[in-house]
Amino acid sequence: MLFNLRNLLNAATLRKSSKQLVQHFRSGQPTQTNVNLKGRDLLTLQNYTAEEIKYLLWTASDLKQRIKDKGEYLPLLQGKSLAMIFEKRSTRTRLSTETGFALLGGHPCFLTTQDIHLGVNESLTDTAWVLSSLTNAVLARVYKQSDLDLLAKEASIPIVNGLSDSYHPIQILADYLTLQEHYGYLKGLTISWIGDGNNVLNSILMSAAKFGMHLRVATPKGFEPDPNIVKVAEEYSKEYSTELFFTSDPLEAASGTNVLVTDTWISMGQEKEKAERMKAFQGYQITMQMGKQAASDWTFLHCLPRKPEEVDDEVFYSPRSLVFQEAENRKWTIMAVMVSLLTDYSPQLQKPTF
């Protein structure tokens, strides 16, 4: 018994110390930067500073230009494998991660609930230990944020939040990259969220102010974001001198904005609430009429999949809609996350303006 206990303690110590042991790969002369994310988890953008989030976007822009525009081959993840745990189905998260990881020379392994039941047939702790010995990182798309937190606590490899009921950080990275590409900057932009107080909004609340962006939020009464998350967002707003405004009136939230954003009104697991939610969200559809309240250069974002009651066809398929560019950028941003957490790579191209 004493021998087994000693082995467990030694293994725990080894896992903690090995969290930082990740294979090196450099390409060209790295740009000078003080940011080093190697070995980190990405559970929520609350855990990342403004400079660290900007670094991820810079890396995404760098990879996109070098691989897509210049046709360079960058096997930055050669010899590495990624466990992809999906309790919730997804088109963009799965394809962007699988194709992006493979494009960089790595091997993604897709695991559904038919392959792995977190905490059911095997404890989360045991799963974290096993995956740490077989793969280099885990991307998990789950229901409970607490499952991700426990995986990160027990694993010796980076854990990335592919979506939880609380946060969707990798979606927001794609949103910000899209806005930076379109406007040429982020600081000073106003984002208006028109919809449910869900995980996507929570991730915006945890990050927008760090770029100097203002945020106006309209949610129906009873569908507001988590008060604890709002409290943190209010502290960020004060720290970075940005506007943070909440209302239940969509037109008031849209006033003077640069970006109109919405998402599904009925997330996975909320299907039984459909009738109640459809009634509560009446008047929340994004239309050109609503756009008249916004700034003249307003654009539209949606993480997809989209339903017509959330945004009408006139807006969704208009030049103001950036949704398909946004979807593509899911790939470049998740590639940036994986490269940053698993290698020593630094962006080679000039840092964009944020």
Active site positions, annotated: 263, 303
**Helices 124-134, 2-18: inter-axial angle, 10-degree rounding:** 60
Written in H, E and C, the secondary structure of 222-268 is: CCCCCHHHHHHHHHHHHHHCCCEEEECCHHHHHCCCCEEEECCCCCC
List of residues 6+ apart from 23 with CB closer than 8 A: 79, 80, 136, 342, 343
Locate 295 and state its tokens: 């700034």
Sheet holding 190-194, edge to edge: 244-247, 214-218, 190-194, 259-262, 299-302
Q: How many residues does the chain have?
A: 354
**Helices 50-63, 169-183: inter-axial angle, 10-degree rounding:** 70
Amino acid 114 reads: Q
Q: For residue 321, what are the β-bridge partners? A: 300
Q: Which residue shows structure tokens 């976007």?
A: 57
